[in-house]
Amino acid sequence: MCASPFHLVFCQLDEDFYLAPRWLSSTRSWLGEHLGEPMAVDEGWAVYTSVEGHCIELICEDVDEWQLHVQVVPEHGTVRFSRQVCALARALGCQLYSPEFETLIEPRMEAMQRLLLRSEAWDHALHSGAVAAPGALRVEVGRQ
């Protein structure tokens, strides 16, 4: 992973970071179908990794207390994974929360990419030469 991945957390519309218990099983199935088998990190903590190296962490304290955390690695292309994150968030009726910016965003590709372009992770990747200038990304954003 890069020195500082871009972080997002799924958040219910009532601004609760714990997600609805009824969606846990189907979310696990969705993650497995789209990202493959998880890597178990600790009891109740599984990491689903994309082929590009991005990941979604499922943290499950118990059936009633589970969360989804996202880490995006700007150096490895973000469009496909961002679409997956947004689709899952919409299916769960969630928004996305950025701890870096302390803000909620709608689960739309354009909103997620706009925030990514302002992040420390993007700045790090840009200055290391690992990503192109933002103009290249903006062209992709229009293709939701």
Q: Give the model confidence (pLDDT) of 37-72 as tens digits.
A: 999 999 999 999 999 999 999 999 887 899 999 999
In a domain, 34, yes or no: yes
pLDDT band at 135 (very low <50, low <70, confident <90, very high): low
In a domain, 25, yes or no: yes
The runs of H, that is alpha helices, within the chain are 24-35, 79-92, 109-118, 120-127, 134-141
In a domain, 1, yes or no: no
List of long-range contacts for 117-122, beta carbons under 8 Å, 24+ apart: 119/6, 119/74, 120/4, 121/2, 121/4, 121/5, 121/6, 121/72, 121/73, 121/74, 122/6, 122/74
The identity of residue 60, as a single letter, is C
Per the CB < 8 A criterion, the answer to whether 92 and 10 are in contact is yes
In a domain, 68, yes or no: yes
Instruction: State the CATH number of the domain containing residue 67.
Output: 3.30.310
Per the structure, the complete domain to which residue 110 belongs is given by 6-141
Q: How far apart are CA 62 and CA 19, in angstroms?
A: 11
Mean pLDDT, rounded, for 25-29: 96
The count of structural domains within the chain is: 1
Mean pLDDT, rounded, for 123-144: 64
In a domain, 99, yes or no: yes
Q: State the average pLDDT for the chain.
A: 89
Q: Does 19 score more than 90 pLDDT?
A: yes
In a domain, 128, yes or no: yes
Tokens of 30: 């969705």
Q: Does 101 score more than 70 pLDDT?
A: yes
Per-residue pLDDT tens for 81-100?
Answer: 999 999 999 999 999 999 99
This prediction has a pTM of 0.86
